Amino acid sequence: MTAAPPRQFHLNAFLMNAGHHDAAWRHPRTRPERITDLTYFQELARTAERGRLDSVFFADGVALWGNARYNAVGGFEPLTLLSALATSTEHIGLIATVSTTFNEPFHVARKFASLDHLSGGRAGWNIVTSGNAAEARNFGREEHLDHAVRYERAAEFLDVTRQLWDSWRDDAQVVDRERGVYTEEGAVQAIEHRGEHFRVDGPLNVPRPPQGHPLLVQAGSSEDGKEFAARYAEAVFTAQQTLGDAQTFAKDLRSRLAKYGRTADQLKILPGICPILGDTEAEALALEDELTGLQIPAYGLQQLSGMLGTDLTGLPLDGPLPELPAEHDINGNKSRFTLVAELARREQLTIRQLIARLGGGRGHRVVAGTPEQIADTLEDWFTQGAADGFNIMPPHLPGGLEDFVDQVVPILQQRGLFRTEYTGRTLRDHYGLARPAGRSL
Amino acid sequence: MTAAPPRQFHLNAFLMNAGHHDAAWRHPRTRPERITDLTYFQELARTAERGRLDSVFFADGVALWGNARYNAVGGFEPLTLLSALATSTEHIGLIATVSTTFNEPFHVARKFASLDHLSGGRAGWNIVTSGNAAEARNFGREEHLDHAVRYERAAEFLDVTRQLWDSWRDDAQVVDRERGVYTEEGAVQAIEHRGEHFRVDGPLNVPRPPQGHPLLVQAGSSEDGKEFAARYAEAVFTAQQTLGDAQTFAKDLRSRLAKYGRTADQLKILPGICPILGDTEAEALALEDELTGLQIPAYGLQQLSGMLGTDLTGLPLDGPLPELPAEHDINGNKSRFTLVAELARREQLTIRQLIARLGGGRGHRVVAGTPEQIADTLEDWFTQGAADGFNIMPPHLPGGLEDFVDQVVPILQQRGLFRTEYTGRTLRDHYGLARPAGRSL
């Protein structure tokens, strides 16, 4: 008999075109010409799978993000891309972002159910409410829905999608040719949802997914976001700059679970980290500087203006930020606003310095160091209650993911912190999360 | 020098779970247990590609079609499924149905652009306006939008999606690392659409698709449908019972093209045919009888009630149809209503006989015969101006498609009517349709 394995953590590969650094596309190790080349993403997904990572993940917005003049933005839509990647991978989870603000629950429930069937139970949904007026303007609205209304809509959206996934019983298809009965009476049932935001009769036109429900992921860290996560999410992606902040966030989020009848092991917290790797610390710092040197100030200023809900055009780059609005006046990504404002205040950064700090991770933590140093910081956060795993955001792709898989993952495996082989078949298996029970007769 | 090849026709494989016959799932040659098994559809798509067919196609609705108690209904969502099939095929076109009534143009433009990139230019969109109140009730509406309003919305929907596909110039991505310019000024432009049904700023967040626009397919044969097809469609799927009707339809449709500045070679007309094959005509007829014998009357009656917009429950199966409404009172699929009503009237069919006649193709032509006989009827319709190709609807799958590919296609190839190898790379190439020009500077 072997002893129970030590508690291990989870790793998600957050993939993004040329990489997470906003100047990555200008670096010689990246391939921005390949962002609409499926084989590029097949290679990335296989690299992540070679590292035994839990999942790959794509962020998403329903507008062009960033200025295409200055960055390798645009490309595949996540659900179509992940459906194609399902066929070139065997184990790794496939997580797509889809907004509850600009979609209908029937479509979303259906597409994730379809992806879950296609992939043999590897689908995950990163639920976002969208934070961007440009997205609203692609859907007939001038302004974005109010933050609180978005979360109300999101909650009802989840209630509907979960009912739709359960509208077929797990064993619905009896396929009795002799009797002429494909599903038994009552095995496929309408849901007749009548709510504030949605009226949906159902049933879904897809049998119940292999995982019951796809893995539910959430990434907003505002008050509304945390409450939503505590109620619905099974994994949370979050941007945290310091161990202390991450511990506070994790403790807060876990404390909200009990009132929804949930326990801490049902919610995996994965802070983002952009690991800038070098054989020596000096090499890593040199790479970070090289990437900073490739940044385009006009691009960084636009991105920062967006995050802060404040037009910074024309301000001196080497001066401080102007007076900022309060979080309650921000109708976009509230938690990201506060994180960036806090970072600038705490470290007294000029606009140029802030653009450099945000270039790698858009507010997520950036750590430059050796593979040992990266492994150390992951272990620290994990053992000190700040994380159940990490959202790995390679600064440049494909090299930054290859380096992480080849250099950091083996150290984590040697320390017993990370799996050496997949032991389960589904994304829920990888994250150690139970399959939701379906309806019974 | 070789002579120009003779005019050839086009073949689309219309795939549907266990096959097109409503009792197919009860037949021993079908595999209704596999309708959520990706490998089943991979095998079907590869079979169609082995036959050098132009495309595979999935119908779609945003509600469960038919009664799951009595038929193998439900399954994959077409866009996710075709994205996965893109990776297991190399040449064949991939056509998905998506409704303009229950979707937003930004999502649809984006997903088809993504599929077109994933597949190297093999995406096609079968544009439908949906004909089913059950679909409306999954999207917050009690009743279906009026037929004419649906087509108005569809026209504006197409105007928006075509602008979105063109919002990136073909050569937008210059990827100039030195200058720090990813796309040139003006190469990616907002569309600022302001219409009756949609307001969409754009640009799309996907570079222009390899085909410029995915192939545009349409399948409604009502007056509104024909006018829409003449204006927008590049291929038309249509249900026609007789050569005369098909000739009249084709002539009518072609006559509408000039006012949109289009010519007959820009629109391919593909009537549906459900080929029931046997080594002898007697064997084919026996198979047809076998399938009819497996039909479940309660299912057929529900389907017929739906097509006729008339509740037939309780009527004697061996009696005639009751008085039917007029086409202008039908708010679903008007052309299918008229076709079925006409068929019943012309042939003086009882309800039971009508259910049998509709079992194979739901109104599409069903022909039972030898491979030679099937090839003859295809050739007849083609040479007599009724068709530019055919929408092949195998009565049972996978066998019905395998039989068609192995037994009928070689005859068509020997007669010089069908390609023996793919000569192009994209779906537009297969159908001999030009790539729409994009914006230039």
Alpha-carbon gap: A11 to the closest alpha carbon of chain B (Å): 25
- Which residue on chain A is closest to B134 by alpha carbon? A201
Task: State pLDDT tens for residues A59-110.
Answer: 999 999 889 999 999 999 999 999 999 999 999 999 999 999 999 999 999 9
Q: Are B36 and A117 a contacting pair at CB < 8 A?
A: yes
Q: In the structure, what pLDDT confidence band is assigned to residue A5 with cuts at 50, 70 and 90?
A: low
| Burial class (CB within 10 angstroms; exposed 0-12, middle 13-18, buried 19+) of B178 | exposed
Q: Quick one: what percent of chain A has pLDDT higher than 90? A: 90
Check pLDDT > 80 for residue A315. Answer: yes
Given a contact cutoff of 8 angstroms between Cβ atoms, the answer to whether A173 and B231 are in contact is no
Note the pLDDT of residue B327.
85
Task: Determine the average pLDDT of the residues in A384-388.
Answer: 97
Note the pLDDT of residue B119.
98
A199-200 and A193-194 as β-strands: parallel, antiparallel, unpaired? antiparallel
What is the CATH number that goes with domain A10-138+145-174+186-276+364-431? 3.20.20.30
Note the pLDDT of residue B4.
58
Q: Give pLDDT < 70 ranges for chain B.
A: 1-6, 441
Note the pLDDT of residue B334.
84
Show the tokens assigned to B118. Answer: 């994933």
* Domain B10-277+365-431 homologous superfamily, CATH: Luciferase-like domain (3.20.20.30)
- Which residue on chain A is closest to B118 by alpha carbon? A38
Among B159, B153, B148, residue whose Cα is nearest residue B222: B148
The answer to whether A337 faces chain B, any CB pair under 8 Å, is: no
Helix, strand, or coil here: B366?
Answer: strand
| Chain A residues within an 8 Å CB radius of B111 | 77, 79-80
Given a contact cutoff of 8 angstroms between Cβ atoms, the answer to whether B51 and B403 are in contact is no
Residue with tokens 């043999």: A120
Please report which helix (H) or strand (E) contains residue B422, including its range: none
Alpha-carbon gap: A63 to the closest alpha carbon of chain B (Å): 6
Helix, strand, or coil here: A337?
Answer: helix
Q: In the structure, what pLDDT confidence band is assigned to residue A3 with cuts at 50, 70 and 90?
A: low
| Chain A residues within an 8 Å CB radius of B79 | 79-80, 83, 111
Show the tokens assigned to B26. Answer: 């009860």
Note the pLDDT of residue B441.
63
Note the pLDDT of residue A275.
98
- Which residue on chain B is closest to A196 by alpha carbon? B140
Show the tokens assigned to A280. Answer: 């020596």
| Chain A residues within an 8 Å CB radius of B34 | none
Show the tokens assigned to B66. Answer: 């038919």
Task: State pLDDT tens for residues A126-176.
Answer: 999 987 889 999 999 887 788 889 999 999 999 999 999 999 999 999 999
CA B359 – CA B364 distance, rounded (Å) = 10
Q: Which of A33, A58, A138 to mutate to test the interface with B (most CBs of B within 10 A)?
A: A138
Please report which helix (H) or strand (E) contains residue A94, including its range: strand A93-99
Query: Tell me, what amino acid is at B136?
Result: A
Greatest mean pLDDT among A193-207, A315-329, B219-233 lies in A193-207
Helix, strand, or coil here: B284?
Answer: helix
Note the pLDDT of residue A400.
98
**Cα–chain-centroid distance for residue A14?**
7
Question: What phi, psi does B174 have (nearest 5°)?
Answer: -85, -20
What is B10-35 written as a DSSP string? EEEEE--TT-SSTTGGGSTTB-GGGT
Task: State pLDDT tens for residues A280-310.
Answer: 999 999 999 999 999 999 999 999 999 999 9
Check pLDDT > 60 for residue A1. Answer: no
Residue with tokens 């596309």: A25
Residue with tokens 């099939």: B85
What's the predicted TM-score (pTM) here?
0.96
A vs B: CB pairs below 8 A: 215
Among A169, A162, A161, A204, residue whose Cα is nearest residue A185: A169
Note the pLDDT of residue B3.
59
Task: State pLDDT tens for residues B158-177.
Answer: 999 999 999 999 999 999 99
Residue with tokens 């209304």: A149
Whole-angstrom distance between the N-terminal and C-terminal Cα of chain B? 40
Residues 6+ apart with CB under 8 A from B309: B324, B325, B329, B330, B331, B332, B337
Alpha-carbon gap: B145 to the closest alpha carbon of chain A (Å): 16
| Chain A residues within an 8 Å CB radius of B194 | none
The number of beta carbons lying within 10 Å of the beta carbon of residue B148 is 12
Ligand-binding site membership of A147 (annotated) = yes
Q: Are A83 and B84 a contacting pair at CB < 8 A?
A: yes
Task: Determine the average pLDDT of the residues in A261-274.
Answer: 97
Residues 6+ apart with CB under 8 A from B333: B131, B220, B222, B307
Residue with tokens 């507008």: A63
Q: In the structure, what pLDDT confidence band is assigned to residue A221 with cuts at 50, 70 and 90?
A: confident
Task: State pLDDT tens for residues A340-353.
Answer: 999 999 999 999 99
Among B51, B47, B26, B172, residue whose Cα is nearest residue B113: B172
Please report which helix (H) or strand (E) contains residue B133, including its range: helix B133-136
Task: State pLDDT tens for residues A15-25.
Answer: 999 999 999 99
State how far the alpha carbon of A409 is from the alpha carbons of A124, A437, B137, B248, B411, in Å: 23, 34, 49, 68, 58
The answer to whether B296 faces chain A, any CB pair under 8 Å, is: yes
